């Protein structure tokens, strides 16, 4: 992903909302490699 103007780091709260919506749509499971799992990883990295 390109870094530049307008790029906002993924927050833990935003990643949690994405993960919750994905889990709800998939019977409580979050598929590996999904956007939700990538969002969680990005939030963990940006909040170190």
Q: How far apart are CA 8 and CA 11, in angstroms?
A: 9
Position 11 scores a pLDDT of 92
Share of the chain above pLDDT 70, in %: 85
Q: Which residues of the chain have pLDDT under 50?
A: none
Q: How far apart are CA 23 and CA 32, in angstroms?
A: 11
Helix residue ranges per DSSP H, 1-48: 12-25, 35-46
């Amino acid at each position: 992903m390109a870094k530049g103007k307008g790029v906002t780091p993924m927050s833990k709260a935003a990643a949690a909302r994405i993960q919750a919506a994905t889990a709800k749509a998939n019977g409580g499971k979050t598929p590996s490699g999904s956007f939700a799992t990538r969002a969680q990883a990005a939030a963990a990295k940006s909040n170190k």
